[in-house]
Amino acid sequence: MIVPSALLALAFSEVAFSLPSPAAIPGGAGLNETPVYQPLSPFDYQSFILGLNQEYLEFALFQDALNTFSDEQFAAAGFTPNDQYLVQYMLEQEVGHITLIQNILGGPDNAPKACNYSFPFETVQDFVDLSMKITRTGESGVFGFIDHLDSRAAATVLGQAVAVESRQQMVFRQFEGLFPFPYSFIPVISQAMAWTAQTQFTTSCPATNPKIEWQAFPYLNITNAPNGTALPDGNFSTPSLSSNRTLSQPGNTVNLAWDAPGMQVGPDKNYTTTTNASAPKFAAWVSQLNTTYTPLTNISGNTAQTLQPDATTIFGNDTSTTVNGTIFVLITDTDLYVTPFNFSLIDAHVVAGPALYIAG
């Protein structure tokens, strides 16, 4: 029997009308309440000032590149005028993110001010590679703490900002001619790891800024890390919508070197790197939902080697390989089992890191 369209619409209307309203379904938190978009605990406050410094840092990074490189230099790196404008637009996105977090912290007059930053790039390709790594640190850093915030309302709008951050990271991978997202899940890192990364670029801050209380770990350097901009023929990659280019392979020897604790780092050298870990034993590869450990070999002082993990998959056949894309590497004293929600447990076992490794 064919039901006339008017009756069909009425039938669907009646079905929809008979369904229970969301308010009648047990569970959920914060529904139908007046939201308060501000920190509700010291944990919230310290997380948001960390996030604000990340946004300030990214704004300074994009602005520095646009001020440093000419149109001709961008063109020589394969950028069209539209590609160059996309960098400008991402700069404008950072203004929105900065304003959002400033408002959560009580407005521009009450929020911490922008610091001074220094970035080690000399070419457009250097800038693109650094931006890809810094935006990955930004998104993974926020995903590491957002579900632990006491202020669920503030977490909601911050999540809307970090969704854009993830897209920025994807764009910079495409600017390197890499596949935009060769993974199914974004990895998380702790606030201490995000702050450790930020201290490498933050040179000074206004004296009125509150102290960031997260731990800073000793720095880790992967001395033979894959270069996302280098091609096998010695040339540099150019922007590409999608390119399935292999940068590293499971089983590759990875050379690691790290600083001893006690270094003065960060703004005005006012922060000291520390570790609560014992002797280094493992490299931790933080990727997607997993933290995979490989044993250190040839340990000599603060240097060692390890092997890039095997290309196992997350959920079996036909799912993403465990180690792929832009991932984080740590030196640890144990192979502690952690998952994304309790990932900060690993902080007590970090000898050094994180360093970023482009596995593909």
pLDDT for res 2: 40
Segment 53-87, tens digit of pLDDT: 999 999 999 999 999 999 999 999 999 999 999 99
For the residues 179-188, what does the mean pLDDT come to? 90
Share of the chain above pLDDT 90, in %: 74
42-204: which CATH topology? Ferritin (1.20.1260)
- What is the DSSP annotation of 234-271? S-B----S--------TT-EEEEEEPPS--EESGGG-E
CA-based Rg of the chain, rounded to a whole angstrom? 23
- Mean pLDDT (whole number) for 188-200: 97
In sequence order, what are the beta bridge partners of 330?
A: 284
Predicted confidence (pLDDT) at residue 7 exceeds the cutoff of 70: no
- The pair of structure tokens assigned to 142 is 């926020």
Buried b (16+ CB within 10 A) or exposed e, 277-310: beebbbbbbbbbbbbbbbebeebeebebbbebbe
Average of per-residue pLDDT values in the chain: 90
d(C-alpha 358, C-alpha 314), whole Å: 18
Task: Say yes or no to pLDDT of 218 above 60.
Answer: yes
pLDDT of residue 247: 74
C-alpha span between 127 and 172 (Å, rounded)? 10
Task: Tell me the three-class secondary structure of 63-118, residue by residue.
Answer: HHHHHHCCHHHHHHCCCCHHHHHHHHHHHHHHHHHHHHHHHHCCCCCCCCCCCEEC
Average pLDDT rounded to a whole number, residues 203-222: 97
Q: Which of 26, 23, 288, 36 is nearest to 156 (CA)?
A: 36
Rounded average pLDDT over 332-354: 97
Tokens of 266: 């960060």
pLDDT at 3: 39
Q: Which two tokens stand for residue 202?
A: 């933050």
Q: How far is it, in rounded angstroms, from Cα 314 to Cα 256?
A: 26
Residue pLDDT, tens place only, 107-149: 999 999 999 999 999 999 999 999 999 999 999 999 999 999 9
Q: What is the mean pLDDT of residues 259-286?
A: 97
Indicate if the pLDDT at residue 278 is higher than 50: yes
Bridge partner residues of 294 (DSSP): 283
Segment 327-354 mean pLDDT: 97
Q: What is the pLDDT of residue 10?
A: 38
In one letter, which amino acid is 227?
N
Give me the sheet containing 253-258, strands edge to edge. Answer: 220-222, 253-258, 303-307, 297-300
Give tens-digit pLDDT for 288-325: 999 999 999 999 999 999 999 987 888 877 777 888 88
CB 119 within 8 A of CB 218: no
What is the distance between the alpha carbons of residues 223 and 256, in angstroms, rounded to a whole number?
A: 6
**Residue 8, pLDDT above cutoff 90:** no
20 pLDDT above the threshold of 70 = no
pLDDT level of residue 237 (50, 70, 90 thresholds)? confident
